[in-house]
Amino acid sequence: MTRTPNTHRPLIVKRQVCARIPTREGTFQLCLYENNRDDKEHLALVVGDVRGEGVLVRIHSECFTGDVLGSLRCDCGEQLHRAMELIAREGRGVIVYLRQEGRGIGLLDKLRAYNLQDQGYDTVEANLALGHQADERDYDIGVAILRDLGVRSVRLLTNNPAKIEALEASGMPVVQRVPVVAPIHAENQRYIETKVQRMHHLINLSHLHLNGEQRRHGTR
């Protein structure tokens, strides 16, 4: 479930500057955007000429713990770097980096949610217990950034069907979904299971259940 967009005034995004950023995955142009909807500086990592149709795109929401610290509690950092790798390999694409930490609840409440998760809540239950929706993200700014870059339709790197629906509702056609699956391990398994079971993400968990059966029977 995504937050209802603010429609009181027309959304305007403004590209302030772009600079070359060499990374382990490849060389990108990093563009910083300001907007009239919030006070956050949203970003776009761009490779090649992205004007036109069928551009490989990842809309990535900020995750300080996963993206910067490499936290194993989630799959965010893994997904970000996998998307960078795929786009760099293709030679054309965009990662829109939206500053909406913790599915839109902010870092403070995200850390509070972590404490609730350590008490047995799943990620959805923790957000609800703190008075939030399960997912409060808004993708309108991301779509506006894509339009500013000249993107007319996307091949979207995502496992989240709600993200596809949100982009199309904002007028950005999604011509293909490209899976972006990160490794699953003991620290993030329940998090990813919750994504699948509670938020309908398109991730195959069958191998997890198989591995569980093998462990119970002492086989590999």
Homologous superfamily of the 13-100+137-216 domain (CATH): GTP cyclohydrolase II (3.40.50.10990)
Terminal-residue alpha carbon distance, the chain = 38
- Amino acid symbol at 170: S
**Is 115 within 8 Å of 130 (Cβ atoms)?**
no
- Predicted confidence (pLDDT) at residue 134 exceeds the cutoff of 90: no
Please tell me the predicted confidence (pLDDT) of residue 2.
43
Of the candidates 119, 21, 42, 123, the residue with the CA atom closest to the CA atom of residue 75: 123
pLDDT above 70 covers a percentage of the chain that reads 90
pLDDT tens-place string over residues 13-44: 999 999 999 999 999 999 999 999 898 999 99
| DSSP conformational letter for 135 | -
Of the candidates 177, 15, 32, 176, the residue with the CA atom closest to the CA atom of residue 97: 32
Residue 132: CB partners within 8 Å, gap ≥ 6?
Answer: 104, 105, 109
| Six token digits for residue 212 | 């569980």
Count of CB atoms within 10 A of residue 88's CB?
19
Q: What whole-number distance in Å separates Cα of residue 160 and Cα of residue 196?
A: 9
| Six token digits for residue 55 | 């551009």
Q: Where are the domains of the chain?
A: 13-100+137-216
pLDDT tens-place string over residues 40-51: 999 999 999 999
Classify burial at 118, counting beta carbons within 10 Å of its beta carbon; exposed 0-12, middle 13-18, buried 19 or more.
exposed
Would you call 214 helix, strand, or coil by DSSP? helix
pLDDT category at 93 given cuts 50, 70, 90 is: very high
Q: What is the pTM of this model?
A: 0.86
pLDDT tens-place string over residues 145-177: 999 999 999 999 999 999 999 999 999 999 999
* Active-site residue set: 135, 137
Residue 178: CB partners within 8 Å, gap ≥ 6?
Answer: 56, 86, 155, 156, 157, 158
